[in-house]
Amino acid sequence: MVSTVLWYIMTANNVISLEFKIPINITDVPENVRFLNPTPDTVTVTVQDKGSSFIKWMFSAKPSVNLRFEDYSDDNGQFRLDAAHLRRLISSFYSRSATIKSVLPEAVTLRYTDQPGKLVPVELDIDIVPALLYTQNGAVGKSQDSVLVYSDSKTLETITEVYTYHVQLRDLTDTVRRRVAIAPLKGAVVEPRTIELMIPIEKMVTKTQMIDISVRNAPQGVNVVVFPSKVQAVYRTTISGYKMHRGEFTAVVDYNNIDQTKPKVALQLGEVPGAYQDVHLALDSVEYIIETYR
């Protein structure tokens, strides 16, 4: 601060050019209005004047460009402050001897809408790869399934969903919570702009279990006895899956597959809980006896 003041004093009688950033505020915006393109936070101004004038400016209250919404908006969704008007506003902040060399942006041109928002679903663009011996245990949870999109009526008709930015998660060993942004839509705004995801990850364990062998499609009056009557099943599952689904699957012999010229019949998996993976049986066939009743 001291060095800046000294520099201004040393250049008091010299004509110099300085760059300033002046805040822009759009005021009295109706609650139902959304701007469809980014509103500038500041305007960058290059001013030429004597150093003495800048000393006075330095110790005065800093100005801002305040624009009342109704003064610069029309009924066609346009908000515009032209270049000449903006320069006049900027010039009023400086001495009469000052020359405005440049203003960026040169003008303020925005699109807006006062149409109600359209509720559309959120689709995820996500790549999930658990670490070795881990798995994704269930669907990805979302803090909300849909968001509101604001735009003009014609544009809203073409928007049926929104997507998140691409998210890549690898080598996961625990449940992950991640806030992700909604990918922008041209000519529209989305509220909210982010959602929270929850990716359930659990460790896999290998389990064995003795399960009953049942016979299906045996005709009436026929009983098929298999040896052994149980078989060991080996599978991978999560801890929670093991606790919830234990005992809910079977091994099956299909009567239609029996070739009575052979001593064994093929053994198949019956129903398998969705939480179990890589299920296989210790035997691929069993011996059998066919009993007939009159």
Kind and range of the H or E element at 143?
A: none
Of 72, 98, 113, which residue constitutes the final position of a domain? 113
Do 45 and 75 reside in the same domain of the chain? yes
**Domain CATH for 33:** 2.170.120.30
Helix ranges, 120-203 (H): 153-158
How far is residue 280 from each of residues 78, 92, 226, measured CA to CA in Å? 67, 83, 19
Do 241 and 175 reside in the same domain of the chain? no
* pTM for the full predicted model: 0.71
Do 165 and 215 reside in the same domain of the chain? no
**Domain CATH for 174:** 2.170.120.40
Segment 90-121, tens digit of pLDDT: 888 877 887 888 999 999 999 999 999 999 99
**Range(s) of the domain holding residue 195:** 118-199
Sequence-separated (6 or more) residues with CB below 8 Å from residue 291: 222, 223, 224, 225
Do 76 and 56 reside in the same domain of the chain? yes
Residue 65 CA to residue 67 CA, distance in Å, equals: 6
CA 246 from chain center: how many Å? 35
- What's the rounded mean pLDDT across residues 226-232? 93
pLDDT at residue 3 is higher than 90: no
Do 97 and 68 reside in the same domain of the chain? yes
Do 180 and 251 reside in the same domain of the chain? no
Segment 215-225, tens digit of pLDDT: 999 998 899 99
Do 178 and 228 reside in the same domain of the chain? no
Counted domains in the chain: 3
SS3 state of residue 53: helix
Do 173 and 211 reside in the same domain of the chain? no
DSSP 13: T
Segment 115-149, tens digit of pLDDT: 999 999 999 999 999 998 898 988 999 999 999 99
Of 143, 174, 199, which residue constitutes the final position of a domain? 199
Do 10 and 104 reside in the same domain of the chain? yes
Do 48 and 149 reside in the same domain of the chain? no
Work out the number of other CB atoms within 10 angstroms of the CB of residue 293. 7
